[in-house]
Structure 1
Amino acid sequence: MKIFNSEQLAGFNRDGYLIVRGLFTEEEIGLLGETARNDHAMDQASSTMDDGKGNDVRLSLWNHPGDGVYGMVARCRRVVDGVEDILGDEVYHYHSKMILKDAKVGGAWAWHQDYGYWYQNGLLFPDLVSVMIAVDPATRENGCMQVLRGSHRMGRVNHALSGEQAGADPEQVEEACKRLETVHCEMSAGDALFFHSNTLHCSAANNSDHSRWALICCYNTRSNDPFKESHHPGYTPLSKVDDDMVLKVGRDDARRSSVAFANLVEEDQSAKSLASEGA
């Protein structure tokens, strides 16, 4: 099913990102947020990383989408078909993560490219797209994502550890910031940001009184199947679901329980892969 028109695809190819307003309804995103906030397994399994500035960033990550409401979001056609429109190939679920940027304590994310460390997982090409879905409104005050428009055309930038995060080469980031526009991706709950794996992005700390939670679903193309094993999976056919399954499963308390999540959770080892390479 075609999701994006030629103008939207041209915009993504030019800018390295695309914001889709209202991709999920108020009820859908409300059920997703309610599920996540009541998910004790997600909370207990979350990992924290030092942002290098005295604050911690917190997230929960899982490789397999599952059959709960998280999986319905990651597998629904409006998301997956949109990613396939952009990449022009069949995609599979690389992993998903819930960013838990809580009020007053949520730390910053350094400028980075996702492919800056994913390439170490045996991925020869940057043929990956992530979809960040705003569970809470994302504003400048609560540390919304920032992107450098068109930075995906720079190719992969070298990365090293910044605190416990993977950060892009500061010299190249500084020069890129002089030449490219920094865009604050402010979003309402239910909006979605599709972005290229080489797009430089960051976010500031959350100093506001409001949380900024977001679900990020990441996809790789079938033709870019990794040549070695890593903490993220190789190609596995993705079973898409109709869009109405998000609401159906979201309304079903039993099917969106935390029991399913407990079997999905993984440790985020992205930054550790840089340390192991001596980067």
Structure 2
Amino acid sequence: MTPTNLPRWTDEAPEPGVPEAPPRHVAIIMDGNGRWAAARGLPRLEGHRRGVEALRKAIRAAHELGVRHLTLYSFSVENWSRPAEEVSDLMNLLRLFIRRDLAELHKANIRIRVIGERGNLPPDILGLLVEAETTTRANTGLDLVVAFNYGARQEIVSAVRRIAEAARDGRLDPAKIDAGLISDHLDTADIPDPDLVIRTSGELRISNFLLWQSAYAEFAFLPMHWPDFDKQAFEEAVASYRSRQRRYGGRLAARAGA
């Protein structure tokens, strides 16, 4: 029996126990580009370039492993505080990736979605993101969610503000506010919660990423830096996920004779 406290906004409520299938939704915190470069005496930009190559490998691996949704934490709201030269390099890499890879992603039937704040983005960057979404909107393969200029606390604040405004204007009864309603106002409203969150670089934190959505996720913290991430690392993280028992805050039924 599925626990009643499971989020109602998932595609299909997963059963508790050891997963038999690959995770439907994998979210990745791509961390360690700069440290990868520093360890090799290379400029940070080279680490970011190699990180783009790892991103391509991750998308390909997700498709081959049967993952339905892949969310990539590409640029956080806090990343704007980095040196201006590095931010400029990152924006240029994004421009290059979309211009070079969009046609191939579209051909592979991949749908691109972008979550995060859009109001303060450079016009050309915003235009490229909108182009990627518009071009691939009808695709039915892998759902590639790009968290760009994203912060989970900011996302939750924006959702609560919209709900409060609806209640103030008489369009919403406050008694109707529940977890599902809050989720319906998040950037990920029609995307199932992540089953597995992967972070590279060995850091043991989630850095303001999908705080609400990760309530019941499994986590894999990998010691490698992001440029070293490949299909084998993805497969090992998925194998670890499939070896775990998922309880969603409840208890599994006792086996006969246990």
* TM-score, structure 1 as length reference: 0.26
- Larger radius of gyration between Structure 1 and Structure 2: 2
- Higher strand proportion, which one? 1
TM-score calculated relative to the size of structure 2: 0.27
Q: Higher helix share goes to which structure?
A: 2
